Amino acid sequence: MAIVNIPERKEIKDSDKWDLKSLIHNDDEWENIYKELESKINGYDSFKGRMGESLETFRTSLEFDMNISREVEKIYTYAHLRSDEDKTNQFTLAMYQRSVNLYTRISELSSFMTPEIQEIDEVVISSYMDDPSMKDYRFFLEKILRFKPHTLTKEMEQIIAMMGEIAQAPSQIFSQLDNADMTFGIIADSEGNETELSHGNFSTFLQNPDREVRRQAFFQYYQSYKNLKNTVAATLDHSNKKDSFYAKVRKFNNSREASLFSDNMPEKVYDNLVSTVRSNTAPLFKYLDFRKEALNLDKLHFYDTYVPIVSDVNFTMTYEEAVETCVKSLAPLGEEYTTIMKEGLLNGWVDRYENKGKRSGAYSSGCYDSPPYILLNYEDKNINSLYTLIHEAGHSMHSYYSKHAQPYILSDYTIFVAEVASTFNETLLSRYLLDLYKDDPKMQAYILNREIDNIRATLYRQTMFAEFETRSHNIVEQNDPLTLEVIQRVYNELLETYFGDKMYIDDVLTLECLRIPHFYSAFYVYKYATGLSAAIALADKVLSEGTPARDAYLGFLKLGGSKYPLDELIDAGVDMSSPEPVEKAIKHFSELVDRFTEVYKKLGK
């Protein structure tokens, strides 16, 4: 009997880790940069009360602020990446906490700037913005002036800034519980091999052809949340209360409006998504019925919804092979794109494999002065790892193009457009794999199955999450208690809506909402669904129209944060203010379901 344990960080080869020396050489250098920056931040005082004094003073104050911001982002990025390598490492956790504290102090010291900018006479501020030397700052200043009705006095803004670290408490508590304190036990497969269950391999277990292994992994995983359900429910409740507090203080009608405001995102975009998906569950129900029939089940449980229906395909792909597959599938974006991406993925951008204490999931992260780093928990035998790699590579290439095309102040793109760049890559990967295996019906069926499950998870499931966020925040904002019982009841109602009677809802599945890290960055998840919808439309354009559509898409990646997200997407070729892209995505999903069932029947199953 073999026991597979998750390795310690020191057991991972250096070549399989990200190379943070490109950002900061080591922890000692981080300490020196930290102390040097800390000694500079009181320089904000020299600009307090003077921002409207002259154009020169105004420009100098903004340049000072941007330089400080750029430096603290370097410190924060290095510290959070180091901490995510092992959430149990107290030294790197302290680095992270110190960087957050420094961020908070800088926010406090600079909190006078926005109110002072908004207090400058309209004629004067217009003359400042029209000056050629302020060209790069214009859009930045337009956004600040737009926030004028939601900005407080200088004294109140300082107090709000001082609360920044405290406001992170629910998120930090959840993160420590979820990544450092929770354990999920050992799972034995049908051959007696034992593997430690973790966030990183949970989805792999759900794809195991042995239903008993899937069932055991599902209930064992959720038992850990059940054991802490009251505590985790309390962290979610207080995260929502934090959001509600900031919305009220800033004179927004609710938390969602406050969250969408910075992107200049109409609430109808959010509502269009939910209403369109809610009213088009028929293709999903059809697929779930087919899945139940194909797997020959009396009842379809959640732990039956990820296992490949084409179960006798032994997928395996090393990390290096996955990189090569990504390069080939993204060929429609041109040689420059794929060459830059390949170099980064093989040489220092990526922390590839799971180790004890490592943050779960995956992300792309970095700053203006760093490579666009990627955290993975790559599994050779899980096709989702290939998709995760190309997804995060989409984010990283977006960051690469953005910071090379835009000045620092305009380089930071919004999450709304970020999710387009990542899911666009996934869409091209699926198209490439389906063409690659066009003469292999079994692999065709396997890839179609995976693509359907991905859209289901991204479009339907993330929209359900988005509706949960709205409903759970509304409860808090109506001054009603958001208890564990209420949370589970609301989530159960949504499960019944989005899955109908097509899936048996086990009691512990109502705890799913307690394990979603994105709920601590409120009203984020809807962007996955809108991003996928936009990505499907743009991928169609690139593949069908060729060079003009490709150039428009690459131009979109280079925009960074120089426009509002809806305007950037219009430049790329899609209008997300209309429900049409979501409707097209659902139509695409429905066509994939029909194509899959047809191919599957040819296999003689």
Q: Indicate the residue type of 373.
A: Y
Q: How confident is the model at residue 2 (pLDDT cuts 50, 70, 90)?
A: low
- Phi/psi at 187 (nearest 5 deg)? -115, 130
Contact 527, 535 (CB under 8 A): no
* CA atoms within 13 Å, Cβ hemisphere of 199: 23
Q: Do β-strands 3-4 and 373-375 pair in parallel, antiparallel, or remain unpaired?
A: unpaired
pLDDT greater than 60 at residue 1: no
* CA atoms within 13 Å, Cβ hemisphere of 605: 21
- Encoded tokens for 478: 């109506």
Find the catalytic residue in 85, 108, 354, 392.
Answer: 392
| Per-residue pLDDT reduced to its tens digit, 72-90 | 999 999 999 999 999 999 9
| Per-residue pLDDT reduced to its tens digit, 458-510 | 999 999 999 999 999 999 999 999 999 999 999 999 999 999 899 999 999 99
For the chain, give the percent of residues with pLDDT over 70.
99
CB atoms within 10 A of CB 519: 23
pLDDT for the residue numbered 605: 59
| Per-residue pLDDT reduced to its tens digit, 11-29 | 999 999 999 999 999 999 9
pLDDT greater than 70 at residue 275: yes
Q: Using the CB atoms, write b or e for 28-67: b if 16+ within 10 Å.
A: eebeebbeebeeebeebeebeeebbeeeeebeebbebbbe
| Domains assigned to the chain | 3-167 (1.20.140.70)
56 is catalytic: no
| Whole-structure pTM value | 0.84
